[in-house]
Structure 1
Amino acid sequence: MHGWLNLDKPIGISSAQAVARVKKIFCIKKAGHLGTLDPLASGVLPIALGEATKTIPYLSCDLKAYNFTIKWGEQRTTDDLDGDIIRTSDIKPEYNQINCVIKNFVGKITQTPPQFSAVKIKGIRAYKLARSGQKVNIKPRPVQVHQLVLISVDTVNNSADFAMLCGSGVYVRSIARDLGIALDCFGHITKLRRTMVGNFRENESVTIEQLTKKRGDIIPIELALESMFKVRISAEEVGKIKKGQEIVLNNLRNLKNYDICCTMMGNVPIAICSFIYGCVKPIRVFNI
């Protein structure tokens, strides 16, 4: 089985655990996910099955969408409900105050990932160092937030609901932490749902329960790569590509040197290739 699955990950399991469940359901050995979701988060988790794992580095996940809730009054070690409380405040920010501050979090901003994150520090995941009690020095990095909208404010529970459209690498927990600091009231995530990763949308996702009942809908590799330039080749050229040889295609005027393309025979993807000086050179060959 080869293709992509648009999984609606439930709360309470890690992305790796979700992949493990999918592998068991489909009885496959090879699978991987695109974009990590924390155990406390739910929503869109694209999972590559079989030979589709070779396409993970080439799928665009530059655009992601989230709905989330921030609880004010507490800053936590993990910046979500899982962590220990480290700072508190009695301040209850109002709608207009929050709406004014979030303007500073839109556009190209500098953000420091949470202490408990998958960022690598000298080859070791930050969360592993943080769990062992070490203070992790994570460098700030530029990220892109396209939209950050305040949906509602709950004055009783001192929380607020948001919707965000952002680029890859944005940590929602960091948004909560930094918004709380900017409002001088502190804050952490209590609810987080991802509604989009690239072309994978919430309304087209399937739950694990649906998979166990009807096996779900598998997205073919060629459809997942719909935005990648396709090159149709002959059976003879397929043989060369499968052997790792490059083929000459001087008619690819739309491609520039080192552009990435997918060679196809009919509707069957053959390989992800690089176009170099009139030749197509295989990078990852599909065993389909």
Structure 2
Amino acid sequence: MARKTKGRPISGWVVIDKPAGVTSTSVVGKVRWAFDAQKAGHAGTLDPAATGVLAVALGEATKTVPFVTDAMKSYRFLVRFGQATDTDDAEGTVIATRDARPTDAQIEEALVAFRGDIEQVPPQYSAVKVEGERAYDIARAGEAMDLAARPLFVETLRMIRRPDDDTAEFEMVCGKGGYVRSIARDLGAALGCLGHVVWLRREWSGPFRAEAGLGLAQIEELARTPELDAYLLPVETGLADLPELPLAPDGAVRLRNGNPGRVLSSRAAPGETAWASFEGRPVAVGTYMGGELHPSRVFNL
């Protein structure tokens, strides 16, 4: 006999404004407990010291996580010049110092090289895998790694404030896989003065905004109540960047059985990823091919 899954079969998205000092994993666990949900995940890890948007998916919404992870994201962060740390942020140990400080003009000139399609080496303390192990576990064991550079698209990167000679505040909009700590480290290196992140905040991620997020205190206060359920966003919120295709009744039946389904109309190009709906509810995500959606994920809603 199969073991019964604990919790409610509840599905949707919850936007959390994560505070500093907690891990993304612990936030997901707290949200899952508060909603008594069977399943939960998140769309993009935030470092423990970071704050801002952490989008938590419950139930069937976990099938839409990759589309939020792939979406553009916006960060604000403060860089401290003159010091490099082993973690590339203020949580780490200072490993080198420089007396030089850049002018505003030098910073603006250096930022040009960090916009558009760039290559970025992740921090030593990061979640990337090296031969099956997380880089941060290897770094904590005292081993240095040669991590491979990864492509990153930076739509915008601008300095928005210069509190003093030692620091500067920035705003960045980038694609999937961006490390703000790497930006601070590499900018400091390019300027010849070194640098690390003092604080960072993710302001938005895809369709989710920090100002609309719940705090952990609210989650705990409303845990296991109908009032908390009112903050649950629909599963399809995570599909906001994909075209929606309305289904014919027979198409909905076929898709729910894992087969290609006929759509009534399409704003998608052949070969494009899209999602199909019937009577206002998402049925599947897949590839649009000549009047049909070929499913890759089917929702049990």
Distance 1:73 1:48 in 2: 40
Match of 2:196 among 184, 188, 192: 188
Shift of 1:184: 1.7
Residues 1:228 and 2:272 aligned together? no
Q: Tell me what 1:247 maps to.
A: 261
| Percentage of matched positions with identical amino acids | 38
Residue ranges of structure 2 left out of the alignment (5+ in a row) = 1-9, 223-227
Q: Tell me what 2:6 maps to.
A: none
CA contact (8 A) 1:222 1:267 kept: no
> Which amino acid in the other structure matches residue 267 of structure 1?
G
Shift of 1:38: 0.3
Residues 1:132 and 2:141 aligned together? yes
Distance 1:230 1:97 in 2: 46
Q: Tell me what 1:197 maps to.
A: 205
Residues 1:265 and 2:274 aligned together? no
Shift of 1:224: 3.2
Shift of 1:22: 0.6
TM-score for both structures, normalised by structure 2 = 0.87
CA contact (8 A) 1:64 1:166 kept: yes
Moved more, 38-47 or 198-207: 198-207
> Which amino acid in the other structure matches residue 285 of structure 1?
V
Shift of 1:41: 0.3
SS of the residue 2:147 aligns to:
coil
SS of the residue 1:98 aligns to:
helix
Taking a change above 3 Å as real, the CA distance of residues 86 and 60 of structure 1, as seen in their structure-2 partners, is: closer
> Which amino acid in the other structure matches residue 85 of structure 2?
R
Match of 2:88 among 79, 93, 96: 79
Shift of 1:271: 1.8
Distance 1:97 1:245 in 2: 57
Distance 2:24 2:71 in 1: 19
TM-score for both structures, normalised by structure 1 = 0.90
Distance 2:70 2:259 in 1: 30
Q: Tell me what 1:284 maps to.
A: 297
Q: Tell me what 2:126 maps to.
A: 117
Taking a change above 3 Å as real, the CA distance of residues 10 and 262 of structure 1, as seen in their structure-2 partners, is: same
Residues 1:29 and 2:57 aligned together? no
> Which amino acid in the other structure matches residue 178 of structure 2?
V
CA contact (8 A) 2:247 2:262 kept: no
Residues 1:64 and 2:78 aligned together? no
CA contact (8 A) 2:245 2:267 kept: no
Distance 2:247 2:177 in 1: 36
Shift of 1:242: 2.3
Kindly tell me the number of residue pairs found equivalent between the two proteins.
Answer: 286
Q: Tell me what 2:7 maps to.
A: none
Residue ranges of structure 1 left out of the alignment (5+ in a row) = none
Aligned-pair Cα RMSD in Å: 2.1
Shift of 1:60: 6.1
Map Cα deviations across residues 60-99 of structure 1 (whole Å, 9 max, x no partner). 6431111111112210111012222211112233333323
Q: Tell me what 1:218 maps to.
A: 232
Shift of 1:55: 1.0
Distance 1:61 1:242 in 2: 25
SS of the residue 2:88 aligns to:
coil
CA contact (8 A) 1:7 1:45 kept: yes
Map Cα deviations across residues 93-145 of structure 1 (whole Å, 9 max, x no partner). 33333233223222222221111111222232211221122221111223222
Distance 1:60 1:128 in 2: 23
Match of 1:12 among 9, 18, 21: 21
Taking a change above 3 Å as real, the CA distance of residues 275 and 89 of structure 1, as seen in their structure-2 partners, is: same
SS of the residue 2:126 aligns to:
coil
Q: Tell me what 1:46 maps to.
A: 55
CA contact (8 A) 1:109 1:144 kept: yes
Distance 2:111 2:269 in 1: 40
SS of the residue 1:59 aligns to:
helix
Taking a change above 3 Å as real, the CA distance of residues 244 and 177 of structure 1, as seen in their structure-2 partners, is: same
Taking a change above 3 Å as real, the CA distance of residues 93 and 51 of structure 1, as seen in their structure-2 partners, is: same
